[in-house]
Amino acid sequence: MKYNAETRHYFETTARAGHLSGAKVYRGAAGDREQGSWVQFDLKFASGNLADARFLAFGCPHTIAAAAWVAEQAVGKPVARRLPDSVQAISLKFAVPLEKLGRLLIVEDAWLAAIDAGLKVEQ
């Protein structure tokens, strides 16, 4: 499969890959490795903003690139129960084939699970 430049960039650099540690790290995960796609986000909030975000992902380059992009784009912005952009916009940005759109929903579900974990404590 041929990947566009955005997918290759975020897949090859994955600057926000890994775990966060310390107090008040909020974690959310979705998917299943056995099914071929799993994503986890670790988030830290500060004064109503997303202070830091890290991710782990198991899946195709589209899944990993999308998770990396979400973690990068959200840092510094107000905490909100949504992705930094719509699933449709992310699918266009990374040229995700129709048969892989469900993997972006796994990215979204993991993100929302982490946001929800934090909002339960912070509000």
Q: Which two tokens stand for residue 97?
A: 């084939």
35 CB-side CA count, 13 A: 10
What pLDDT was estimated at residue 49? 94
What pLDDT was estimated at residue 31? 97
Q: Look at the chain and report how many structural domains it folds into.
A: 1
In angstroms, the CA 61 to CA 42 distance is 20
Range of the domain at 56: 5-122
| Pairing outcome for strands 37-46 and 26-32 | antiparallel
What pLDDT was estimated at residue 122? 81
> What would the pLDDT profile of 9-29 be if each residue is shown by its tens digit?
988 888 889 999 988 999 999
What pLDDT was estimated at residue 23? 85
All residue ranges of the chain with pLDDT < 50 are none
What pLDDT was estimated at residue 87? 95
In angstroms, the CA 46 to CA 28 distance is 18
Q: Going edge to edge, which strands form the sheet with 49-58?
A: 26-32, 37-46, 49-58
Domain with residue 18: its CATH number is 3.90.1010.10
